[in-house]
Structure 1
Amino acid sequence: MSEIQETQQVKSSILIYTEQTPNQEVLKFVTNRKLYNGSADFLELEKALEWSPFAADLFQLPYVKSVHINNNYISIGKEFSYSWRDIMLPIKEFIKGYISSGAEVVRDGYAEMIEKERAERRASGDETEIISRIIQIIDEYIKPGIEMDGGNIEFISYDEGIVTVSLQGACRTCSSATYTLQAGVQRILSSMVPEVKEVIQDFG
């Protein structure tokens, strides 16, 4: 088999399909390849240039506004003026070509950097036990459902009964984000951690 034929065979074995998310401006591109063992969220080119060549290249496309990588899928947010009908295929082809090249998706050290940030948040303040319980509940009971919708949730802080979280991917700018926080996240957390009175979103 020639080198060209081998390359074509590798490319043809990469499957990509799309799934709608609750956010009309974000589409989930699912592959049959493991892209990254974890979650990586990029809202601007600067951070992508530091940590993800894949996301940085996606940002070069004029219609890409955000990139969220999670295990075997990418949630891509588009600029409002574009239609998915016009840009879905070019994005699929770009993703397939990038995966075929074997290039790095997320650089080594990203997961450690995120975990360090989480550890610092977990250890902050005088209520470390409550914070640890909140993070555990988010990871075990809340995060899996949000990931199914092409998003992610990260604990930011806890202060006097108020939990601040960061919604990422499709959930960040979704019209139902407020409902998700109040009817979903807040209900679960307050039922399992009585000290929790309110859950708010951090847009930073």
Structure 2
Amino acid sequence: MYIETELTPNPATLKFLPGQPVMAAGTREFTTPEEAASSPLAEALFELGDVTGVFFGRDFVSVTAAPGANWADLKPQVVAILLDHFVSGAPLFAGGDAGGIAVPAGADDETFGDDPADADVVAQIKDLLETRVRPAVANDGGDIIYRGFREGVVYLTMQGACAGCPSSSATLKHGIESLLKHYVPEVSEVRAA
């Protein structure tokens, strides 16, 4: 088995592609060792000590290194853990758990609750996010989650490599906001949630 590694726009995060599915549906992010306890793989990565984030995508794992960590030293350790996991066929989650709070593609944890009067606008926003934005963000080792639409403002959360990326605010403001405003005139702004 060969694990391909890709750089992401976030210099602290690398994207690892094991050449097989990681998550059957959705994504899952771990930002603390306590969160990682539900996944033997995420837990093993955090036990390296220099890992501050793990993100499971459909066919990749993004790993974020702690400030000051050296990827030249950390990368071989991460690859070894990933190889052991995928070669052994071990479950991704403890106890056969399918991931618990994974966010399936197209499903959204709406923090703000949308006004039913905005149903058509919200459907357009979600469609654009699903078809145009999420694939691009996944290429960079992350995901974007819809959180709500209120009074012209779309609330989104960046995950994985995109969450701590120095260019994430530019991506939200210039890329995603411009796209949504172009296709959905009711959108006036995009904010991180």
Query: 1 or 2, which has the higher helix percentage?
Result: 1
Between 1:124-133 and 1:169-178, the stretch displaced more is 124-133
Query: C-alpha separation between the residues in 2 aligned to 1:171 and 1:109?
Result: 24
Query: RMSD across aligned C-alpha pairs, in angstroms?
Result: 2.2
- Give CA deviations for 1:40-66 in whole Å, capped at 9, x if unaligned: 21112233223x222122112201110
Structure 1 residue 109, shift from structure 2 partner:
4.1
Structure 1 segments unaligned to the other structure (5+ residues): 1-13
Percent identical residues = 28
1:73 paired to 2:75:
no
Corresponding pairs, count: 188
- Structure possessing the higher radius of gyration over alpha carbons: 1
- Please list, as runs of the form range in 1=range in 2, the aligned pairs for 1:154-193 lying within 5 A after superposition: 154-193=145-184
Change (3 A) 1:36 1:24: same
Residue identity in the other structure for 2:127: Q
Match for residue 28 of structure 2 among 40, 64, 77: 40
Which consecutive aligned stretches of 4+ in structure 1 deviate over 6 angstroms post-superposition? none
1:114 paired to 2:103:
yes
SS of the counterpart of 1:110? coil
Change (3 A) 1:120 1:24: closer
TM-score (normalised: structure 1): 0.83
Structure 1 residue 121, shift from structure 2 partner:
5.7
SS of the counterpart of 2:37? helix
Residue identity in the other structure for 2:70: S
Structure 1 residue 158, shift from structure 2 partner:
1.0
* Matched-pair contact (CA < 8 Å) for 1:68–1:74: yes
Structure 1 residue 33, shift from structure 2 partner:
1.9
SS of the counterpart of 1:196? coil
Structure 1 residue 108, shift from structure 2 partner:
3.8
Change (3 A) 1:58 1:90: same
- Please list, as runs of the form range in 1=range in 2, the aligned pairs for 1:83-122 lying within 5 A after superposition: 83-106=70-93, 108-110=97-99, 114=103, 118=108
Structure 1 residue 111, shift from structure 2 partner:
6.7
Residue identity in the other structure for 2:62: S
Aligned residue in 1 for 2:142? 151
Query: C-alpha separation between the residues in 2 aligned to 1:97 and 1:160?
Result: 49
* Matched-pair contact (CA < 8 Å) for 1:23–1:173: yes
1:28 paired to 2:15:
yes
TM-score (normalised: structure 2): 0.88
